[in-house]
Structure 1
Amino acid sequence: MFSSKSYLERKTGPYGVGRLSYLQSLVNEYQNTDDDDAKTQIIGNLANFAYDPINYEYMKALNVLDLFLDGLEDPDDKIVEFAISGICNACNYHVNKKHIIDNGGVKMVINCLSRPSEDTVLSAITSLIYLICPETKTEIVSLPVVECMLRLSKAKNSKLKNLATIFIEDHCDPSVVVEAQKIQQRHFHIPSTVSS
């Protein structure tokens, strides 16, 4: 459910902790804790706040998108999973999209396609779809990405399979798809052995 400022004010009351203060406390705790479980829980909470446009102003003021971008390069797969979820939730808003693009986020999101978590890969594909624009299209629908999407379109997980197929059908040039298919055929070709 999307919120309005008046709804949040009524819900918080005159003596409650406001949304900005609460988000600030989450960011501070994330940056200051050494507890990996706490970090994972906090970035997950921040990712959940990223779905609601009412929070975008607060997220910008607190540099939450930068926290998500940093999280994409974390060695902990759960941190990456929640960071890409936050990116995915926020990147459909044009200001957030521009920030992600301007700060090297497209390459980081592409790198998430090879992560072990299916949820991470799903969020990465969805994010790439949202991030496609004239400025990023060449990078996002490049041959290596299309080749990866072809592999994912054969996944057992129906969500991965369907989302990768949508990516290919809606955003990829057919000639690049054919080239990626040829690469896959060469890559998986097993030469026949000659019997003597």
Structure 2
Amino acid sequence: RCSDRFEYLQTLVTEFQDTDSEEAKEQVLANLANFSYDPKNYDHLRDLQVTDLFLDMLTEENENFVEFGMGGLCNLSMVPEFRDFILQNDGINLITNCLSSRNEETVLSAITTLMNLITANSRSEITQPGVLHCMLRFSLSESPRLRNLASVFLQDCCSNEQVAQAEEQMQGQQQTALGIPLPKD
């Protein structure tokens, strides 16, 4: 069974690399993101370097690629081995850039992933002022999911002093200034 599972996942990765069809690539990415939820697949996903693939998707033009790549990273980021890999491969920067996505699923996965990536060493980068400003804006969102998740991030990941300081900084800014770099054209 284990070898069947590996071969199936390997077939998916190969199909992603070999096909020119955007639709087929989206389907494969969605499947890989779903498989990244199951601990039985972790060794195979590591051996097939699927975490790299997910990270690569975060800079794609296709919003579905970004959504599924972010979803896959979100599923894997709870596992210390994958968390460390993401942190060592510019993951915080790539994920933070996804906070400006127009796709709510991508943003929700990005916030959750950032929360999963918090360690003693990564906390200051994840809770930098630009991210806090973003979370404060999200905490006022009309979307209950976004509003609640941003509030949890602010409560669980940030000190009261950090939040107060970010609120103070934002009062001096126009609401159009995001504090998060926009994707490069």
Q: Same fold (TM over 0.5)?
A: yes
Q: Secondary structure at the match of 2:9?
A: helix
Residue 47 of structure 2: aligned partner:
61
**1:183 Cα shift?**
2.2
Query: Are residue 32 (structure 1) and residue 18 (structure 2) matched?
Result: yes
Residue 119 of structure 1: aligned partner:
105
Residue 3 of structure 1: aligned partner:
none
Residue 102 of structure 1: aligned partner:
88
Give the number of the structure with larger relative contact order, counting CA–CA contacts within 8 Å between residues 6 or more apart: 2
**1:171 Cα shift?**
1.0
In our comparison, the structure showing a higher alpha carbon Rg is: 1
Corresponding letter in the other structure for 1:105: G
Residue 163 of structure 1: aligned partner:
149
Aligned-residue CA RMSD (Å): 1.3
**1:32 Cα shift?**
1.2
Query: Are residue 187 (structure 1) and residue 173 (structure 2) matched?
Result: yes
Separation in 2 of the partners of 1:143 and 1:184? 10
- What 5-or-longer segments of structure 1 have no aligned partner? 1-8, 190-196
Separation in 2 of the partners of 1:186 and 1:100? 34
Residue 5 of structure 1: aligned partner:
none
Separation in 1 of the partners of 2:75 and 2:135? 21
**1:188 Cα shift?**
3.7
Separation in 2 of the partners of 1:114 and 1:19? 35
Query: Are residue 145 (structure 1) and residue 134 (structure 2) matched?
Result: no
Separation in 1 of the partners of 2:174 and 2:96? 23
- What 5-or-longer segments of structure 2 have no aligned partner? 176-185
Deviating beyond 4 angstroms after TM superposition, the runs of 4 or more aligned structure 1 residues are: none
How many corresponding residue pairs?
175
Residue 6 of structure 1: aligned partner:
none
Q: Secondary structure at the match of 1:134?
A: coil
Query: Are residue 91 (structure 1) and residue 61 (structure 2) matched?
Result: no
Residue 81 of structure 1: aligned partner:
67
With normalisation by structure 1, the TM-score equals 0.86
**1:67 Cα shift?**
0.3
Of all paired residues, the percent bearing the same amino acid is: 42
Separation in 2 of the partners of 1:85 and 1:46? 10
**1:89 Cα shift?**
0.6
Corresponding letter in the other structure for 1:57: D
